[in-house]
């Protein structure tokens, strides 16, 4: 997403897909990785798959998170708190065991009780790393890469999360996402079109503080090319005449509706016989 042209910033943080699985099983994964290293030459090494570099970085950054809040972006704690309030409906925190290993907990708004992340909803597990990274890792000028930010989110929350991601851009973070969500794309398109209005004209509109200029966002569609057995990449632009971004996702919706209508027509024809 925004400001993705040019060289990457000094630090880049990659939040891979299946964040829920990692948040639920990080202790097991770390333990298995340690077994793989420490057992060599002593006992038979277990058949544990090697972690990818991206997954290894993600796990290392998770276990390095401390129990103190250290906002590293201007208003980083405020950005994280807003995400908790508007999307998660509760707060995310990290605690340390006696062995100084982090455990992650979730406290729903209005409840005086904390729950382990692994017993919370998958939505909480998916977004908890974003909150934690904002409070403990990401600095102004860094790059935050998020795979499938829409994972396990209701469409309304997908649009809400997209709005918060754009606010990160305004805070000086370069954000790159991969997505298959029409709602995420529609929200971004709305914010780009919102920039065509003056601040006075934006008043009262949702996201009026997060308008994006054309220069602040780049969107590319990867389309399968059966003949070349690969993908063709083309840039998408907001189309004010036809509405939003012409990603082709609406064609799927049209096909589903047409099928529904055709089934209805055949049911009606059967009744008329």
- 244-268 pLDDT, tens per residue? 777 777 788 889 999 999 999 988 8
Q: Give the pLDDT confidence score for residue 242 in this predicted structure.
A: 67
Residue 270's domain comprises: 249-273
Burial of residue 16 (CB within 10 Å: 0-12, 13-18, 19+) is: middle
Q: Mean pLDDT over residues 112-118, rounded?
A: 88
Distant-in-sequence, close-in-space partners of 89: CB < 8 Å, separation ≥ 6: 108, 109
- 154-164 pLDDT, tens per residue? 999 999 999 99
Which range, 32-41, 126-135, 263-272, is most confident?
126-135
Measured CA to CA, the distance from residue 27 to residue 22 in angstroms comes to: 9
Write the CATH number for 25: 3.40.50.300
Same structural domain for residues 188 and 211? yes
Measured CA to CA, the distance from residue 166 to residue 191 in angstroms comes to: 9
- 175-224 pLDDT, tens per residue? 999 999 999 999 999 999 999 999 999 999 988 999 998 888 999 988 88
Q: Give the pLDDT confidence score for residue 3 in this predicted structure.
A: 45
Q: Give the pLDDT confidence score for residue 33 in this predicted structure.
A: 56
Same structural domain for residues 260 and 196? no
Residue 5 falls within a domain, yes or no? Answer: no
Q: Give the pLDDT confidence score for residue 168 in this predicted structure.
A: 94
How big, in percent rounded to 5, are the helix, strand and coil portions of the chain?
45, 15, 40
Secondary structure of residue 143 in the 3-state scheme: strand
Q: Are 123 and 101 in contact (CB under 8 A)?
A: no
Same structural domain for residues 204 and 264? no
Closest CA to 157 of 200, 129, 185, 123: 123
User: Angle 155-170/122-136 helices, nearest 10 degrees?
Assistant: 10
Handedness of CA 222, 225, 229, 233 (dihedral sign): negative
Residue whose structure tokens are 């998958």: 122
Residue 189 falls within a domain, yes or no? Answer: yes
Domain count, the chain: 2
- 65-114 pLDDT, tens per residue? 865 554 455 566 888 999 999 999 999 988 887 777 788 899 999 998 99
Higher pLDDT, 65 or 134: 134
Same structural domain for residues 131 and 262? no
Same structural domain for residues 205 and 254? no
Report the percent of the chain where pLDDT is more than 70. Answer: 78
Residue 220 falls within a domain, yes or no? Answer: yes
Measured between its terminal Cα atoms, the distance across the chain in Å is 55
Residue 121 falls within a domain, yes or no? Answer: yes
- Beta strand extents in the chain (DSSP E only): 12-15, 90-96, 102-108, 115-116, 143-147, 174-178, 219-225, 230-236
Residue 2 falls within a domain, yes or no? Answer: no
pLDDT band of residue 58 (cuts 50, 70, 90) is confident
Same structural domain for residues 40 and 77? yes
Residue 243 falls within a domain, yes or no? Answer: no
Report the percent of the chain where pLDDT is more than 90. Answer: 37
pLDDT exceeds 90 at position 36: no
Residue 1 falls within a domain, yes or no? Answer: no
Q: Are 210 and 166 in contact (CB under 8 A)?
A: yes
Closest CA to 205 of 193, 215, 214, 223: 193
Measured CA to CA, the distance from residue 131 to residue 91 in angstroms comes to: 9
Q: Mean pLDDT over residues 151-155, rounded?
A: 92
Same structural domain for residues 202 and 259? no
Same structural domain for residues 158 and 111? yes
Strands 102-108 and 90-96: antiparallel
pLDDT exceeds 80 at position 27: no
Same structural domain for residues 61 and 95? yes
Same structural domain for residues 155 and 86? yes
Same structural domain for residues 87 and 118? yes
Residue 244 falls within a domain, yes or no? Answer: no
Same structural domain for residues 197 and 253? no
């Amino acid at each position: 997403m925004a400001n993705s042209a040019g060289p990457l910033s000094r630090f880049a943080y990659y939040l891979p897909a299946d964040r829920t699985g990692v948040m639920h099983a990080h202790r097991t994964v770390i333990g298995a990785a340690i077994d793989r290293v420490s057992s060599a030459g002593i006992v038979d090494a277990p058949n544990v798959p090697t972690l990818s570099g991206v997954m290894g970085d993600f796990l290392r950054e998770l276990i390095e998170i401390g129990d103190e809040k250290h906002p590293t972006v201007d208003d980083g704690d405020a950005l994280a708190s807003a995400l908790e309030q508007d999307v998660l409906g509760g707060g995310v925190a990290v605690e340390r065991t006696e062995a100084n290993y982090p455990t992650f907990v979730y406290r729903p708004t209005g409840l005086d009780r904390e729950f382990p992340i692994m017993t919370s909803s998958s939505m909480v597990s998916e977004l908890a790393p974003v909150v934690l990274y904002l409070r403990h890792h990401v600095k102004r000028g860094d790059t935050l890469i998020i795979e499938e930010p829409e994972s396990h989110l209701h469409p309304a929350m997908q649009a809400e999360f997209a709005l918060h991601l754009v606010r990160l851009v305004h805070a000086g973070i370069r954000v790159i996402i991969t997505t298959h969500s029409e709602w995420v794309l529609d929200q971004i398109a709305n914010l780009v079109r919102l920039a065509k209005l003056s601040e006075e004209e934006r008043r009262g509109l949702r996201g009026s503080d997060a308008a994006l200029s054309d220069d602040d966002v780049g969107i590319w569609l990867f389309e399968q090319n059966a003949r070349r057995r690969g993908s063709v990449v083309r840039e998408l632009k907001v189309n004010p005449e036809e509405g939003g971004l012409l990603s082709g996702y609406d064609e799927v919706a049209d096909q589903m509706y047409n099928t529904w209508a055709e089934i209805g027509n055949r049911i009606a024809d059967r009744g008329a016989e």
